[in-house]
A and B are shown apart, each in its own frame.
Chain A
Amino acid sequence: MKAVCWYNRFDVRVETVPDPKILNDRDAIVKITSTAICGSDLHLYHGVIPTMLPGDILGHEFMGEVVEVGKEVRNLKKGDRVVVPFTIACGSCFFCKSALWSLCDNSNPNAAMAEALYGYSPSGLFGYSHLLGGFAGGQAEYARVPYADVGPIKVPDGLKDEQVLFLSDIFPTGYQAAEQCNIQPGDTIAVWGCGPVGQFAIQSAYLLGAERVIAIDHVPDRLQMASEIGKADTIDYRTTNVGEALREMTGGRGPDACIDAVGMEAHGSSIDNLIDKGMMAAGLATDRPHVLREAIVTCRKGGTVSIPGVYGGFPDKLPMGAAHAKSLTFKMGQTHVHRYLRPLMERIQNGDIDPSFIVTHRMPLAEAADAYATFDKKRDDCMKVVLTP
């Protein structure tokens, strides 16, 4: 089959590889009909996530048709159309039973590696480094899905791929980011980063009852989407002082909650980010946490900082003094995707939201290398690429 393989920084190739096989009794093989490139795939593309091996198959947002099931999979059959959550979860450990699916105890075969770095290992993920399992990803014609009796959700008739594909990651990720803000009537939510997760966080915040959402970015078309489709007020950080603007827009209170939908590779030319950039280039820093710093400082007293953006290592110079002085609450982590599949599928069926608004580019899988470059450089107003095998 054809698959998108990682080889090095800025080097992904569509290669011919063997078809995946059932390796465990609870596996299924899915013939992929739609697969997307995620913003977090760009961290891999930039080479900032350790423990990738040349030849690793990328991709963790995918859906398709079940073509084979292991003998312990009884809830799925050949021909079922499913969306696959990007977090891999066993469904029977303490964490899965507590609905903390992305912390599954049993799904990372390389847990020891993650323990060395993080103390304890989160769940395995599709196509996201050997540290997080070394599972082959879904930017391919076929994918093997472990614990297929737990993860994949069947798609009701009448819904198009692009309406449900993003249940695999970014819609639940944006939704969880908003849910973590514990939104109360009258709340103003500030969202840094108007990429796909930011866009879903904006709309989810309104679904959860926010009074107002303020979106921060520098890419004009992304700010425009946040404003026109998301109904958010916007701040372009290149022309406006974010801290002053947020204070003024909230009547001097500060946002009730701040969502960092940017993560470890912040853009911009603030002093702290330039220092981080230099340190990161020299191999002395792992993350550029400019957004997190700004969110902590601008958040109102007693507010919440919700972090769907990915951090990888040891972000430097975080203003913990401000966080402590203002009694902030921090909520973060990989998305517990399984928790949101059913309720968000219902939201889509009810017409509360149509996630296909996010798609700007549709390309064949064979052009994945070009798709990565286009998305990375945000060429041609690229927001979200869907690849078709």
Chain B
Amino acid sequence: MADSSLEWRDTVVPVTEENGHGVEQQVSRTTDLEKYGRDTEPFGALLEARKRPDQINVGREERWISMISGGVLIAYGLTRGSWSGMALAAAGGTLAFRGVTGHCPMYAAINANTAAGDSRESNGVHVEQAITIDRPAEDLYTFWRDFGNHALISDYLASITVTGETTSHWVAKGPANKPLEWDAGVINDVPNELIAWKTLPGADIAHAGTVRFKPGPVGRGTEVHITMQYYPPAGTLGAGVALLFHREPSIQTADMLKRLKRLMETGEIVKVDGQPHGQSLLRTAIHPKS
């Protein structure tokens, strides 16, 4: 596992680059996984189903739907505080499990498979997000390029240290309070337009990303487009588990963009933690921070 993890880390490629005409284009995301097949997958051992992909019979989008709606049902069921609520929460748990593992016993029984043709299964997690912010591209680029600022717009980063002209060291709060660390290097930098980066070998979360700042239509500010190719600590399972703790990368990215927008448009990120509320054991159990 250790060997193969080095291979895929080194072969992550940036997801966009300039072609001869100065226009960005999507480039191949081929990794060793595609060349050598699933056996070299580094985190297969952590998820039995991943070693035997024939057990994954729920398609990618459907798995997300299962996980999200399962999570919603769990949360809603628990807030009901009644037996029917508990039944809802239990049903949510089944759905969420189906989403996390990608295995549906009912599909297996009727020989159905909605995962056939999912090519992204082995390529880690691909994240694409966009937001429009009512500030000039220049301001947004300047904020982003000063990587220390990212602590202001993320609640999962513990620290960011700028280590060189193009390099920085990042520490994130991982699951179970285990910090996740990586070094990142800027691989493309077009002032006021684009920043691309990738993690350096040895990263706990290997990823590559690009952020583009594009003027929107008249009166609409600047469009911020972010694309990331990301390998969570334990493959798709890691993303699934992380989702339950609000740590899933696409949610994190969306959340970060919203915080960026709030900060840039209003000068602050409106808070609700720290407000008063009535005491309740159930509340403390499901929402300890509030």
Residues of A whose CB lies within 8 Å of any CB of B are 1, 3, 5, 7-8, 13, 15, 17-21, 23-26, 50-57, 72, 88, 90-94, 97, 105-107, 109-112, 116, 124, 133-136, 140, 144, 146-147
Cβ–Cβ < 8 Å partners of B278 in chain A: 3, 5, 7, 13, 15, 17, 54-57
**Known contacts A53-B287, A112-B255, A24 near B268 by CB under 8 Å:** yes
Is A147 touching B276 in the complex (CB atoms < 8 A)? no
Residues of chain B with a CB closer than 8 A to A134's CB: 272, 275, 290
Q: How far is the CA of A90 from the CA of B247 in the complex (A)?
A: 27
Listed by A's residue number, 27 A-B pairs whose Cβ atoms lie within 8 Å are A1-B276, A3-B278, A5-B277, A18-B276, A24-B270, A26-B267, A50-B76, A51-B76, A52-B79, A53-B79, A53-B283, A53-B290, A54-B282, A55-B277, A55-B278, A55-B279, A57-B275, A88-B270, A91-B266, A94-B132, A106-B261, A106-B262, A106-B270, A116-B68, A116-B72, A144-B275, A147-B266
Contacts of A50 in B (CB 8 A): 76
Q: How far is the CB of A69 from chain B (nearest CB, A)?
A: 14
Check B79 against A51 for contact (C-beta < 8 Å).
yes
Give the complex CA separation of A20 and B68 in angstroms. Answer: 33
- Residues of B close to A146: CB separation below 8 A: 270
**Distance between Cα atoms of A1 and B277 in the complex (Å):** 11
**Cβ–Cβ contact B279 & A15, under 8 A:** yes
Partner of A54, one of B72, B268, B269, B280: B280
Bound CA–CA A3/B261 (angstroms): 33
| A15-B279, A53-B287 known; A23-B274 Cβ under 8 A | yes
Whether a CB of chain A sits under 8 angstroms from the CB of B251 is yes
Select A136's contact among B219, B261, B276, beta carbons within 8 Å: B276
Whether A106 lies near B277 (C-beta < 8 A) is: no
- The closest CB in chain B to the CB of A111 belongs to B258
A106-B286 contact, Cβ under 8 Å, with A52-B79, A54-B280, A92-B134? no
Bound Cα distance from A3 to B275, whole angstroms: 12
Residue of A whose beta carbon sits closest to that of B69: A116
- Asked if B279 and A23 make an inter-chain contact with CB atoms under 8 angstroms apart, the answer reads no
CA distance A266 to B76 in the complex (A): 24
Q: Is the CB of B272 within 8 A of A19?
A: no
How many residues of B sit at the interface, in one of the four size bands? Answer: 35 or more
Please, which residue of chain B has its CB at the minimum distance from the CB of A117? B72
Contacts A112-B251, A124-B270 hold; do A54 and B276 have CB atoms under 8 A apart? no
10 further A-B pairs in the complex, CB-CB below 8 A; given A93-B134, A144-B275? A23-B271, A25-B268, A50-B76, A55-B278, A92-B134, A106-B261, A106-B270, A124-B270, A134-B275, A135-B275
Which residues of B (210-247) have their CB < 8 Å from a CB of A? Answer: 219-221
Binding site for A on B (CB under 8 A): 68, 72, 75-76, 79, 81, 132, 134, 219-221, 251, 254-255, 258, 261-262, 265-280, 282-283, 286-287, 290
Instruction: Determine whether the beta carbon of A57 is less than 8 Å from that of B272.
Output: no
- Shortest CB distance B247–A (Å): 13
Assembly CA distance A82 to B257 (angstroms):
34
Complex interface: chain A residues within 8 A of B275 (CB): 20, 23, 57, 134-136, 144
Between A and B, how many residue pairs show CB distances below 8 Å? 120
Q: How far is the CB of B246 from chain A (nearest CB, A)?
A: 9
Q: Considering the chains assembled together, what is the distance between the CA atoms of A50 and B72 in angstroms?
A: 10
Point out the residues of chain A lying under 8 angstroms from B76, CB to CB: 50-51
Q: Contacts of B79 on A, CB cut-off 8 Å?
A: 51-54
Residue of A with least CB distance to B268 = A24
Residues of A within 8 Å of B219, CB to CB, are 94
- Taken together as a complex, chains A and B put the C-alpha atoms of A147 and B262 apart, in Å, by 12
A353 to chain B, nearest CB (A): 33
Chain B hits for A90, CB < 8 A: 262, 265-266, 270
What 10 pairs across the A-B complex have the smallest Cβ distances? Answer: A5-B278, A55-B278, A54-B280, A15-B278, A17-B276, A55-B277, A136-B275, A55-B280, A23-B271, A90-B266
Q: Which residue of B lies closest to A124 (CB)?
A: B270
Q: How far is it, in angstroms, between the C-alpha of A92 and the C-alpha of B221 when the chains are bound?
A: 12
State in angstroms the CA–CA spacing of A19 and B286 once bound together: 23
Beta-carbon nearest neighbor of B78 in chain A: A53
Residues in A neighbouring B261, C-beta threshold 8 A: 93, 105-106
Q: Is the CB of A26 within 8 A of B258?
A: no
Smallest CB–CB gap between A31 and chain B, Å? 14
Of the residues A23, A112, A124, A144, contact of B254 by C-beta under 8 Å? A112
Nearest Cβ distance between residue B206 and chain A, in whole angstroms? 25
CB nearest neighbor in B for A88:
B270
Contacts of A15 in B (CB 8 A): 278-279
The answer to whether A105 touches B265 (Cβ under 8 A) is yes
B258 touches A112 (CB 8 A): yes
Known: A17-B276, A17-B278, A55-B278. A147 touches B270 (CB 8 A): yes
Q: Which residues of B contact A106 (CB under 8 A)?
A: 261-262, 265-266, 270
B265 surroundings in chain A (CB, below 8 A) = 90, 92-93, 105-106
A60 to chain B, nearest CB (A): 14
How far does the Cβ of A44 sit from chain B's closest Cβ, in whole Å?
12
Given A54-B283, A116-B68, A116-B72: A107 touches B270 (CB 8 Å cut-off): yes
- A53→B270 contact, CB < 8 A: no
Residue of B nearest to A57 (CB): B277
Q: How far is the CA of A110 from the CA of B273 in the complex (A)?
A: 11
List B contacts of A93 (CB < 8 A).
134, 261, 265-266
CB distance from B249 to the nearest CB of A (A): 14
A204→B80 CA distance, assembly (Å):
39
Query: Which residues of A are found within 8 Å of B255, using beta-carbon distances?
Result: 112
CA distance A110 to B75 in the complex (A): 14
Choose one: A20, A26, A52; the contact of B268 (CB below 8 Å).
A26
Q: Which residue of B lies closest to A105 (CB)?
A: B261
Inter-chain contacts of B283 with A (CB < 8 A): 53-55
CB-CB nearest in chain B for A17: B276
**How long is the Cα–Cα vector from A221 to B219 in the complex, in angstroms?**
50
Residue of A whose beta carbon sits closest to that of B277: A55
